[in-house]
Amino acid sequence: MSPTDREAGQHPGRDAALISQVLAERAIFPLYQPIVDLASRAVVGVEALARGPAGSPVEYPDVLFAAAERAGLMPQLDQLCFTRAVQFARAAGDVTPPLVFINAEPGVLNNAVTPELAAEVSAERSFRIVLELTERALGTFPASLLNIAGTVHHSGGALALDDVGADPLSMAFLPLLEPEVVKLDMHLLRNPYSPYTIETAAMAGAYADRTGAIVLAEGIETEADVATAQALGARWGQGWLFARPGPLSAIAGLQVHHSARLRPPRPDLHLPAGTPFSMAAARHHSRTGDQPLLDGLIEYMWRQAAGTGSFAVVLGAYPDPATGQGWLSRLAPVAETAAFVGVAGPTLLGSHPSSVRIATAPVDGPESVETVLAVVGPHCGVALCIRPGVDGSGDFVLTHDRDLVHAVARMLLRRLGTAAERLLNHPAGYRKDQPDRAGAAAHTN
């Protein structure tokens, strides 16, 4: 693209005209990059990458999506990209491999799905859709993300977490999203001996061993990269060594692993029912304690939160403003190191730590009286759920059962709300500079 072409997307009026024309003509023409099994080199899937009209100022994704964002048309464009990615894959018939990875832009997860996209996703097809998400979606739209994840599993699809290792936030949210595919960021491949890379790869490998997920390495350009990717625990990979993005017809000449499979969907994983205490008490016997004991248990939770490090997620729900106000002084230092800290409850007055997400939750309902804290870290998972009793006592469940802790954390994360929540500061991992996407970000490689 020439400099003149790139400058074409710098004026709001021109942006709106260009993107409106793309939408009206449905002029998105996706390319597909193969994803291969590193051991056999057989194709197991493809990642769809959006392209605008050939030769136009918005042909390439960086300009296309930047123009759509400036024009306020990102939701419409992103859903069109997703729709076209599915349409082209369906039209290719038997050429399409068993898995088609499609990105989702976090900023549009709250929008209603268009009838055209809904029809495409529900239509009969020979492949399984793998929805790719980034840590931007996790940190910015947590409730919507979990709703979308549940919908994807209910429709038979799967999830992939992209850019893992680019920021601690992606690794921190890994056990809460529980994707079927973990995509290691290409920068890990370029710095395989750094302590950060080794730690990230070790945690991704441990997650894969525990859940049956697949680790995939991005940005593979040489045979040396293949060896490095495998050493870091990747079973699948993608990059220019295998193929550059192109039409699906190019897959016809490659060996395809038609029986490639991912873990079956779990429709109720992301949207657990009940309240944190009711769910915890159903799985583990609850106990009763007086107020001094309950205070001691909460202090124990603060000590756990303080020692989990940069990959931690700390979440809570307080039943009254006095409790919430008292928590803020304990949460602020935790938020200095943890990847994400958020609490929900009645409105708090006055100033609050900018690093803590605070969401005003409804004051009615059975969950509103519960006191809940959950700490999720790479080597620690603990949750405390308290339901008030009489005379200052309370029934409680303190659990280190990681599956239960993760379920409690998902409940709390959903209570933090969607785009309307009170976001005092974007998490450190929030980035907007993604160069290539199918419905959003994906590497040019």
- For 371-428, the pLDDT digits (tens) are 999 999 988 899 999 999 888 899 999 999 999 999 999 999 988 864 333 333 333 3
Please give the CATH topology (third level) of the domain spanning 276-415.
Endonuclease; Chain A (3.30.870)
Instruction: Read off the pLDDT of each residue in 38-58 and give the average, rounded to a whole number.
Output: 95
Residue 309 has pLDDT above 90, yes or no: no
Q: Going by C-beta distance under 8 Å and a sequence separation of 6 or more, which residues neighbour residue 91? A: none
Strand segments, DSSP code E, in 302-393 are 313-317, 340-345, 357-360, 371-377, 380-388
pLDDT of residue 419: 30
Instruction: Read off the pLDDT of each residue in 163-189 and give the average, rounded to a whole number.
Output: 91
- Average pLDDT of the residues of the chain: 87
User: Which residue in this structure is represented by tokens 């009763």?
Assistant: 288
The residues with which 46 forms a beta bridge, in sequence order, are 34, 100
Q: Is the dihedral of CA 413, 419, 423, 428 positive or negative?
A: positive
Residue 295 has pLDDT above 60, yes or no: yes
Cα gap 248→269, rounded to integer Å: 33
Residue 430 has pLDDT above 80, yes or no: no
Amino acid letter, 326: G
Please give the CATH topology (third level) of the domain spanning 3-253.
TIM Barrel (3.20.20)
Cα gap 296→289, rounded to integer Å: 10
Residue 63: helix, strand or coil by DSSP?
A: helix
Could you report the per-residue pLDDT of 120-153, keeping only the tens digit for each?
888 889 999 999 987 666 667 777 788 888 889 9
Q: For residue 274, what is the DSSP state?
A: S
pTM here is 0.87
pLDDT of residue 350: 78
Using CB atoms within 10 Å of the CB of residue 123, give its burial: 0 to 12 exposed, 13 to 18 middle, 19+ buried. exposed
Contact 75, 111 (CB under 8 A): yes
Could you report the per-residue pLDDT of 229-281, keeping only the tens digit for each?
999 999 999 999 999 999 999 998 899 999 899 999 999 999 999 999 999 99
Measuring CA to CA, which residue among 146, 143, 145, 192 is closest to residue 165? 192
Q: Going by C-beta distance under 8 Å and a sequence separation of 6 or more, which residues neighbour residue 197? A: 165, 188, 191, 232
pLDDT of residue 138: 66
Cα gap 400→62, rounded to integer Å: 44
Using CB atoms within 10 Å of the CB of residue 25, give its burial: 0 to 12 exposed, 13 to 18 middle, 19+ buried. exposed
Q: Domain residues of the chain, as ranges?
A: 3-253, 276-415
User: Which residue in this structure is represented by tokens 């999203």?
Assistant: 177
Amino acid letter, 409: A
The residues with which 359 forms a beta bridge, in sequence order, are 344
Low-confidence winner among 54-58, 358-362, 403-407 (lowest mean pLDDT)? 358-362
Cα gap 146→163, rounded to integer Å: 18
Q: Is the dihedral of CA 273, 277, 282, 283 positive or negative?
A: positive
Helix%, strand%, coil% for the chain, nearest 5: 40, 20, 40
Residue 445 has pLDDT above 80, yes or no: no
Using CB atoms within 10 Å of the CB of residue 381, give its burial: 0 to 12 exposed, 13 to 18 middle, 19+ buried. buried
Backbone φ, ψ for residue 398 (5° rounding) = -110, 120
Amino acid letter, 437: R
Instruction: Read off the pLDDT of each residue in 199-225 and give the average, rounded to a whole number.
Output: 96
Stronger pLDDT, 99 or 123, i.e. the higher one: 99
Residue 441 has pLDDT above 50, yes or no: no
- The helix (run of H) or strand (run of E) holding residue 25 is helix 12-25
Cα gap 173→165, rounded to integer Å: 12
How does strand 371-377 pair with strand 313-317? antiparallel
pLDDT of residue 64: 93
Amino acid letter, 360: T
pLDDT of residue 107: 62
Cα gap 314→312, rounded to integer Å: 6
- If phi > 0 it is left, if psi is from -120 to 50 it is alpha, else beta; for residue 239 that is left
The residues with which 302 forms a beta bridge, in sequence order, are none
**Angle, CA of 224, 229 and 235, to the nearest 5°:** 130
Q: How many percent of the chain have pLDDT more than 90?
A: 66
Q: How many percent of the chain have pLDDT more than 70?
A: 88
